[in-house]
Chain A
């Protein structure tokens, strides 16, 4: 029995030491290594390259959009420069800030022009995009309609919310409530 095992082992050893067998084994290992490398090594490299191509494509789209935006902004900039005069008018009409004091000066001037003298003034801030102004005027020869018309014809955007006009013994008493608008943020 022991002899048989020894013989068998010796036969295996001879086979392994055989050069032809060794060459075949090394070749198979090499081919196996190449296939494994192709599957895992090259595959991951191909994946990275494909992903980079996708990124490049997205980047090209993004750059195209950004260029479009840049060109549009340049065009708008040009147009804004060309229409500065009208923009100033718009700012006068609908200012970004409340600028009520500036308006009140012009209101008093308009009132004086139509024979009214300002009596009282209450300015109320609101949460909306306007300031409410309650103004009282007195006059002796003053007329109602031309004054209201002049208020409404002013450049500043406003609404006459209410009027209370009365004549007692030749004295005109006028109370107006105005909503003076501005551009809230």
Chain B
């Protein structure tokens, strides 16, 4: 007979424990939900600010692309004036220029020049080959007109 009140007491304690546990978990749940709501608000505010400043990233990306394009174009391609200046200088000193053709894709000059003295060509070739940007050169043809004593020659000047 004594066992019956004991069972009742245990059951009552079990009910209390369950109720306390349920209440505690519910309160925790509510607190966490409150914190979550606060974070969601905070996140939305941050996203709004970041969206508002999205142009900054676009601008930075544009600057980065422009800088890369500038660097690649300027430093991977030799400026023509670098080798044209000394070449024209030598040609002006030694011969009479008829034409100069240069194509970047081909990488060489075709120079047509005239002179009264054939030795001028030798001097010209010697000086041109001293240039650091010039790799080699070849004579394509030489034409001599005896009645006016004029040599006309065409050269191929290959740049490095």
Contact = CB atoms under 8 A, between A and B. Distances in A.
B156 to A, nearest CB: 15
22 contacts: A30-B15, A31-B11, A42-B18, A49-B28, A55-B36, A56-B35, A56-B36, A56-B39, A62-B43, A66-B43, A66-B47, A77-B53, A80-B56, A87-B63, A90-B70, A94-B66, A94-B69, A94-B70, A144-B100, A149-B85, A152-B80, A166-B98
A160 B80 contact: yes
B69 A183 contact: yes
Given A23-B8, A41-B22, 18 more contacts: A27-B11, A31-B11, A34-B15, A42-B21, A45-B29, A59-B36, A67-B46, A76-B57, A80-B56, A87-B63, A144-B84, A145-B81, A149-B85, A152-B79, A157-B69, A163-B102, A164-B101, A167-B99
Interface of B: 1, 4, 7-8, 11, 14-15, 18, 21-22, 25-26, 28-29, 32-33, 35-36, 39-40, 42-43, 46-47, 49-50, 53, 56-57, 59-60, 62-63, 65-67, 69-70, 73-74, 77, 79-81, 84-85, 88-89, 97-105, 112
Contacts, number: 152
A37 interface: yes
A12 interface: no
B32 to A, nearest CB: 4
Interface of A: 20, 23-24, 27, 30-31, 34, 37-38, 41-42, 45-46, 48-49, 52-53, 55-56, 59-60, 62-63, 66-67, 69-70, 73-74, 76-77, 80, 87, 90-91, 93-94, 96, 129, 143-145, 148-149, 152-153, 157, 159-167, 181, 183
B4 A63 contact: no
Q: Which 5 A-B pairs have the closest CB atoms?
A: A166-B99, A149-B81, A66-B46, A94-B66, A59-B39
